[in-house]
Structure 1
């Protein structure tokens, strides 16, 4: 299961980079264009839906347990 998850995650990242990364150019015409200043496309790629969803969450794994042990009684 662990290896299957790792292979699935690796496949997802590879497919996402090939399909949406502004720095990856697959077509010959796109590669011939050289370096592009496409900051809007890069910002959209960087700020994906998962990053926007997680950006406001506290970095806690077990918030209830953390609150129990850290709050004064």
Structure 2
């Protein structure tokens, strides 16, 4: 049977990785359709042409996650990185 071939414990990480990737793509798609100032789904809004609405574009690009990580170190594990790179701490 096909289920015995594909549904095994060894395949679960692959399913999880593909599921996360699909989730991220879906989130970005919904985000762009709903709040991107350059995407216009309604016909009335498309008829307006090119708008120079800089405040709306700034609100879209400066979202909460970007504000949260703005002044943080661009490291995933800063304690581990500083442990291995700082010889004076050892």
Tell me the matched-pair count. 73
Which of these two proteins has the greater Rg computed from alpha carbons?
Answer: 2
For 2:35 and 2:75, how far apart are their aligned partners in 1? 30
Structure 1: 5+ residue stretches without partners: none
Deviations 1:16-66 (A, max 9, x none): 000000000111110000000100000000000000001111011211122
Find out whether 1:17 has 2:24 as its counterpart.
no
* C-alpha separation in 2, matches of 1:46 and 1:12: 15
* Map 1:1-73 → 2, pairs under 5 A: 1-73=16-88
Structure with the bigger percentage of helix: 2
Aligned-residue CA RMSD in angstroms?
0.9
Give TM-score scaled by structure 1 length: 0.93
> Where has structure 1 moved over 3 Å in runs of 4 or more?
none
Task: Give the number of the structure with larger relative contact order, counting CA–CA contacts within 8 Å between residues 6 or more apart.
Answer: 1
Match for residue 9 of structure 2?
A: none
